[in-house]
Chains A and B, each alone.
Chain A
């Protein structure tokens, strides 16, 4: 017999269907969330760790600009000094440089002998020294003669200086 119902309601079957739908949806959602979490959580943790590391590195590299500026300044200074030293080296190593001659003369002076003047010409030089005794002058000439840079070392004059009470010795040599 056909049923009589004054009101339109959800039948028990539909209510059960809604309940089934609810629980199935709930469980499927939970499964989906758990599965997503299984893949996402490790990535998320890694992201958090990397972010922390980035923050630490950023803190560490904060004075990088200053260091870089300082480095640039130092580099410029180094290049300038290098250019200067290379110039000096070049000057020192030049064959016509009188440095070696002067150094040899200064080395030969020894104790008591004072270098008064040096006149370097193209192939000769005149050296004037003040020595306490004539022996000192002789020793100086011998030392100079021993050097390979000077040849034909000759004593031109040896005079006593009354004011200083020393011997003024003028030496001529070929270079």
Chain B
């Protein structure tokens, strides 16, 4: 609630939407060594078409999952980031001959009215080309998630893609040593499979994870969660 008394919590919760799962993760900075640590983590399986192709078909159950997590850890006023992953989000890595392309240079721009799309420069590619990450989301899907956030009384500050979260996590992993050329090398080595950028060893170095979490199984989710946390830099 922002008014009359703005009650804010210095807490950060990532809510990750996957086609088959909903992940809620509370990350907080350790006061002693300033390393982020997983305070709470919960993955809810979505096996009954609650989410299909990124569209919310059962907002009640999804709202219930989110609220259960927030109530359990008293995170009503925490900052929340939604990360979307699935067929509703069209993502591409496109090589362009220029590092400063115009919007009209992208073919995705044709459906600009019904979709929200954007591009981000990633790294210099072979033969003088430049690799860009282009994403596109239908505006109706964004509205659905916004309504979900309103219904769940979440203080949502960001709605982003899973890939953007992983890229943020990658940047966080290297810190000040982050170089786009290194990203290019790693991306080519991983054959542009973005989830492969963050290994579970790297996750261990990036944050403290409780022993109750199976890192090998949850690696992709945890990487996205830490990426979302790093992108917001909540103090």
- A→B interface (CB under 8 Å): 1-7, 9-12, 15-16, 18-19, 22
A-B contact count (CB 8 A): 53
Assess the A4–B118 pair: CB atoms within 8 A.
yes
**A22: which B residues are within 8 A, CB to CB?**
4-6
Chain B residues contacting A1 (CB-CB under 8 Å) are 120, 167-168, 171
Contact status A7-B8, CB under 8 Å: no
Assess whether B160 is in contact with A6, with CB atoms less than 8 Å apart.
Answer: yes
**A154, chain B: closest CB distance, angstroms:** 123
Supplied contacts A7-B156, A10-B157, A11-B157, 6 more A-B pairs, CB within 8 Å: A1-B120, A3-B158, A4-B118, A4-B161, A5-B160, A9-B157
A149 to chain B, nearest CB (A): 109
Query: Which residues of B, 1-41, contact A by the 8 Å Cβ criterion?
Result: 2, 4-6, 8
CB-defined interface of B110-127 with A at 8 Å, one 1/0 digit per residue?
A: 000000101011000000
Chain B residue numbers with a CB within 8 Å of A12 are 8, 79, 157, 232, 234
- Let me know if B197 is at the binding interface, CB within 8 A: no
Q: Is B67 an interface residue (CB 8 A)?
A: no
Number of B positions contacting A (CB below 8 A): 28
CA distance A11 to B234 in the complex (A): 10
In chain B, positions 140-182 with a C-beta closer than 8 Å to chain A are 142, 146, 155-161, 164, 167-168, 171
Q: Are B157 and A6 in touch, CB under 8 angstroms?
A: no
With both chains docked as a complex, state the minimum distance between the C-beta of A23 and any C-beta of chain B, in angstroms.
9
Would you give the shortest CB distance from A21 to chain B, in whole angstroms? Answer: 9
Closest residue on chain B to residue A16 by CB atoms: B8
On chain B, the residues within 8 Å of A2 by CB distance are 120-121
Q: Is the interface of A mostly helix, strand, loop or mixed?
A: loop
Contacts A4-B160, A7-B156, A7-B158 given: A18-B120 contact, CB under 8 Å?
no
- Most B CB within 10 A of own CB, among A3, A4, A10, A12: A4
| Residues of A with C-beta under 8 A to B120 | 1-2, 4
Residue of B nearest to A4 (CB): B164
Whether B69 is near chain A, meaning CB under 8 Å from some CB there, is: no
Please determine whether B137 and A3 come into contact, CB atoms closer than 8 angstroms.
no
Q: Are A15 and B168 in contact (CB under 8 A)?
A: no
- 14 A-B contact pairs sorted by A residue (CB < 8 Å): A1-B167, A3-B158, A3-B160, A4-B118, A6-B137, A7-B142, A7-B146, A9-B158, A10-B157, A12-B79, A12-B234, A15-B2, A18-B2, A19-B6
Q: Which residues of B contact A3 (CB under 8 A)?
A: 158, 160, 164, 168, 231
Q: Which residues of B contact A19 (CB under 8 A)?
A: 6, 8
- Residue B130, interface by CB 8 Å: no
B221 part of interface (Cβ distance < 8 Å): no
Most buried by A among B2, B116, B137: B2
A51 to B171, CA, bound (A): 75
| Contact (Cβ within 8 A) A5 B167 | no
CB-defined contacts of B4 to chain A, threshold 8 Å: 22
B231 partner residues in chain A, CB cutoff 8 A: 3
Q: Cβ of B121: which chain A residues have Cβ within 8 Å of it?
A: 2
Residues of A within 8 A of B5 (CB): 22
Q: Are A5 and B2 in contact (CB under 8 A)?
A: no
Residues of B within 8 A of A16 (CB): 8
Contact indicator B116/A6 (Cβ below 8 Å) = yes
Determine the residue in chain A with the shortest Cβ distance to B4.
Answer: A22
Which partner residue on chain A sits nearest B231 by CB separation? A3
Which B residues between 182 and 235 are near A, CB-CB below 8 angstroms?
Answer: 231-232, 234
Indicate whether A5 sits within 8 Å of B158 (C-beta atoms), given known contacts A12-B232, A12-B234: yes
A residues in contact with B6, CB < 8 Å: 15, 18-19, 22
